[in-house]
Structure 1
């Protein structure tokens, strides 16, 4: 060995040590930077939520027009009733609201709906009497454990000591345990929301059974002065002196058409001018997603004999088989839904969904993952099918091909928008419904609207909203909405059948998100802190920055390293 060998070896070791130390310091600093950002965003999130249900001192004397009367429209109307003397809801089917009926304009109307705990929390703040009204309609409240099984691997729920604050008629009450989700079919739920809205805000609410046909701009094109409407009977009406117009038309996303027709933004085919919006104003990809909801009704005493852990009376979500592109493209959810049991089967690309009752059990048995569904789940399905065969239970199928996700990026053209136009719910962004974020996304946007109205509009100025109101709203909401868009898109891009957004690479786009999401889910099998972070983000109980808390990052990387070592 030469005289220089040992020093060289020492220098090499020191070099590696310095690199490792540098990386460790960098990771620590970045983690705590993310943690600082997380705390800041979380405090703002909590403040926005706390403002829900608080009316302003002096209401606007003008009128707000809400274009669409489904869940997003009804929640928006409730928020606006705290700020405006006159709220007009325009919808072709609004006269049937408050009743259960076959709604034609909402594709998922009769499909399984899951309601995140954030949604329930917000609704309770808007309507303190929500619980008895939901229960009167047959719905139930249960702790928000969706019984997630990642490819058949059970994930831990959030830490049971999570504090919950509930607004009741008596005030705010704190309890321990997971916050609640609701188990109620959408037709029943939407009817309850309408009755709650009318009961709480009857003096402010007016409904028009019809369709918005266009917007009339002011002379200087700075805002919308009136809204044109055609009733179902063919009568033309105009709502004048408009303070605010809210697009709640859902997947129709009619706001783009209205704005173009009114001259606020030019069509993408027009020649260049200062009114032209970006070519990627509305972006979309096709996840090739299909699912079918199978409802088991008229169950009678059978529910008391089903081998559900804890029994049917205490049951909420019974079992969720969460698919991952590493193993397969299909999954299912088995849940109680008011007085029924629903089985939702679905997936990406080429899926073989049940079309009749003979297909149901083979589908549940064939779903691919790390492990098959447990025997007791298959036994529950067998007993439900046997009950139908004996003439007791009633089975209905609701197949559905999900529309392609789309995002109207209004935040990129706020300089072109009228100052009193916003969009809420699917009219701005339509997501993969398997993540149950649709209704909660609408509530989040309504919460943002409420905060902007409270904080940026003076109570002593009841006759106008700021000239930059639209800009304030879209800038305040787009960070969270874009986070949701990118994370769900990353999961969808993991499946080879997904057709990506033009000029995006399905393999590269979101690869880091997919890697982190997979390892976080695996870590959540045993790590309570990681499991709790995943639960909070899935429920929209906290911003996605929660997943980058130092302790969470450590738990995810620890599992990834241990898994890599075990495979060498």
Structure 2
């Protein structure tokens, strides 16, 4: 991977809001009020006189996830890259979330385990926001819709209108049968943030444009999540976020990943994940039993009373749409968030990816683009982000599935996977390697930085030293 791609990725991670920029649009429309849509609307608020978010769900609901977010009951953690970006563009969100009971978790209260081994702290001050998805979305939505030029139209986007090769409007149907049940919203720029089930590709095909190629990685994952009473306050906790990853050889009863976060309302939000036919913890008793058989920390956090019964979620595959390969697309149209790429949620990259897609939009609009041509430059920027997230999440899933199925893979793929396994092993015992690995996992740095020769040499020295020490200890014990 070239240095320019790494530098570009990191510039998107660290992007600041612009100041005194020219207005490009009279009306911009965002189809979808998800985190991705809200962050895109925040970027557009600097560039349009009016931004309209078209969203079919009732956004006045306070406690429950929107029906358009079927994974909203599951564990969500805002990775450092996403949290920092959102803080720059919507200052004070983390503080407000904490005031509502969410946890800002520093390295002293993070627990990452691989089988029975805890990953060594990396010495960096990486902070997660441990928060329920409904609360975070509500806080972000409150900030964005409070902007004087942003509004929400409760309706479902049903298609696009075109003129001279550009999108000029969004067709919509309202939730009721009143006078605004159907209509067209004139728009100078449109963002598709309709999520994993977006129908934009279908619309483009029906309207005579190219449909972006859809890539699927079959990786059936099953989630079970429950809420437990947390008697200790955040300051009293030794650990506030837990992530345990289990290899196929570990006797985990089909659990591949377990996670727990100290969230609002003095609760633990706890998740178990299994691949394929493994559906862990479908009842509270089974859930507790699985946790108690894994690690002490998971047993401890599930001792409290259940405040919400087990909720399950299944996702059959990871998917991405290759907009950069589409030869003919209308101008003034982009797509963001899960509408472009959706991964195994256990990696926690969804909301941070959404933030970086918004960063791509800000960079594109600030580059003086030809708005009467397809937004190819935007999709190329976005591909840098998607490739990075795909390498971590989909790459990890593919490696596990290939290993379990005995699938033959090309030698280059095998070599890269061996290097990653080497890095992961060294991250358990070497702080420098741990920091480099975490920077990639947290979307602060590009995955190609893990293949830096100096880092690989350090990882080799760390694992060789650990192996030598282990052999010496074993020999002394036998003696």
TM-score w.r.t. the length of structure 2 is 0.88
Aligned position for 2:477 = none
CA contact (8 A) 2:228 2:301 kept: no
Structure 2 CA distance, aligned partners of 1:433 and 1:513?
23
Q: Does 1:303 align with 2:232?
A: yes
Distance 1:204 1:403, change over 3 A: farther
CA distance in 2, matches of 1:213, 1:291: 31
Is the CA contact (8 Å cut-off) linking 1:108 and 1:400 kept in structure 2? Answer: yes
Query: 1:498, 1:471 → 2: CA distance?
Result: 37
Deviation of 1:496 (Å): 4.2
Partner of 2:200: 255
Per-residue deviation, 1:256: 0.5
Q: Which residue of 2 aligns with 1:149?
A: 113
Give me the whole-angstrom Cα distance separating, in 1, the residues matched to 2:351 and 2:91.
Answer: 19
Which residue does the alignment assign to 1:461? Answer: none
1:286–1:498 Cα contact (<8 Å) kept: no
Distance change >3 Å, CA 252–CA 471, structure 1 → 2:
same
Q: Which residue of 2 aligns with 1:71?
A: 35
**Given the alignment, which residue of 398, 402, 409 partners 1:493?**
398
- Match of 2:357? 445
> Aligned Cα RMSD in Å?
2.7
Deviation of the 1:146 alpha carbon: 4.1
Q: C-alpha distance in 2, partners of 1:490/1:229?
A: 37
Aligned residues: 460
CA shift for structure 1 position 102: 4.2
Pick aligned residue for 2:182 from 228, 236, 241:
236
Q: Secondary structure of the equivalent of 1:286?
A: strand
Moved more, 549-558 or 114-123: 549-558
**CA distance in structure 1 between the partners assigned to 2:27 and 2:404 by the alignment:** 42
Q: Per the alignment, in what secondary structure is the counterpart of residue 147 of structure 1?
A: strand
CA deviation profile, 1:204-246 (whole Å, cap 9, x unmatched): 1121111111112224xx2112221111124221122x22211
In the alignment, the residues of structure 1 paired with residue 17 and residue 250 of structure 2 have an alpha-carbon distance, to the nearest angstrom, of 45
Please say if residues 64 and 86 of structure 1, whose CA atoms lie closer than 8 Å, have aligned partners that are also in contact.
Answer: yes
Alignment of 1:352-391 (within 5 A): 352-367=279-294, 373=295, 375=296, 377-381=298-302, 383-384=303-304, 388=305
Secondary structure (helix, strand or coil) at the match of 1:405 reads strand
1:191 and 2:138 aligned: yes
* Cα shift readout 1:501-552 (whole Å, capped 9, x = no counterpart): xxxx954164334322221111112211110001100000111122122321
**Kindly tell me: are residues 560 and 512 of structure 1, through their superposed partners in 2, closer, same or farther at Cα, counting changes over 3 Å?**
farther
Unaligned runs of 5+ in 1: 1-33, 161-177, 266-276, 368-372, 458-464
* Deviation per residue, 1:431-468 (Å, 9 max, x gap): 011100011111111101101111234xxxxxxx5334
Aligned-partner SS, 2:219: coil
Distance 1:378 1:140, change over 3 A: closer
Rounded Cα–Cα distance in structure 1 between residues aligned with 2:12 and 2:397: 30
Residues 62-211 of structure 1 aligned to structure 2 (within 5 Å): 62-96=26-60, 99-143=62-106, 146-160=110-124, 178-199=125-146, 201=147, 203-211=148-156
Q: 1:311 to 1:518 in 2, by over 3 A?
A: farther
Helix, strand or coil for the counterpart of 1:402?
strand
| Closer/same/farther in 2, CA of residues 253 and 522 from structure 1, 3 Å limit | same
- Following TM superposition, where does structure 1 have runs of at least 4 consecutive aligned residues deviating by more than 6 angstroms? 497-500, 562-567
Instruction: Check whether the contact 1:72–1:425 (CA below 8 A) recurs between aligned residues.
Output: yes
Specify whether residues 63 and 517 from structure 1 end up closer, same or farther in structure 2 by C-alpha distance, changes over 3 A only: same
Paired residues for 1:214-233 under 5 Å: 214-219=159-164, 222-233=165-176
Contact preservation (8 Å) 2:25, 2:189? no
Aligned twin of 1:14 = none
Deviates more, 1:522-531 or 1:553-562: 553-562
Counterpart residue number, 2:240? 316
The structure 1 residue matched to 2:217, chosen from 285, 309, 332, is 285
Contact 1:286 1:499 in 2 (8 A): no
Corresponding residue for residue 8 of structure 2:
44
Task: Give the equivalent residue in structure 2 for 1:18.
Answer: none
Residues 282/262 of structure 1: CA separation in 2 closer, same or farther (3 Å cut): same
Do the aligned partners of residues 125 and 359 (structure 1) sit closer, same or farther apart at CA in structure 2, a change above 3 Å counting?
A: same
By how many angstroms is 1:564 displaced? 8.3
Q: Deviation string for 1:457-495 (max 9, x for gaps)?
A: 4xxxxxxx5334510001112133123213322321234
Q: Take 1:377 and 1:293, find their aligned partners in 2: how far apart are those partners?
A: 13
Alpha-carbon distance between aligned partners in 1 of 2:400 and 2:11, rounded to the nearest angstrom: 38
Structure 1 residue 48: deviation in Å? 3.3
Structure 2 Cα separation of the partners of residues 191 and 238 of structure 1 = 27
Q: 1:23 maps to what in 2?
A: none
Shift of 1:499: 11
* Structure 2 residue aligned with 1:6: none
What residue is the counterpart of 1:462 in the other structure?
Answer: none
Task: Quote the residue 1:11 is aligned against.
Answer: none
Residues 1:426 and 1:543: Cα distance change in structure 2 (over 3 Å):
same
Within 2, Cα distance between the matches of 1:357 and 1:61?
52
Tell me which structure has the larger Cα radius of gyration: 1
Q: Unpaired runs of 5+ in structure 2?
A: 472-479
Superposed CA offset, 1:409-452 (max 9, x none): 11111x31112111100000010111000111111111011011
Residue 402 of structure 1: aligned partner = 315
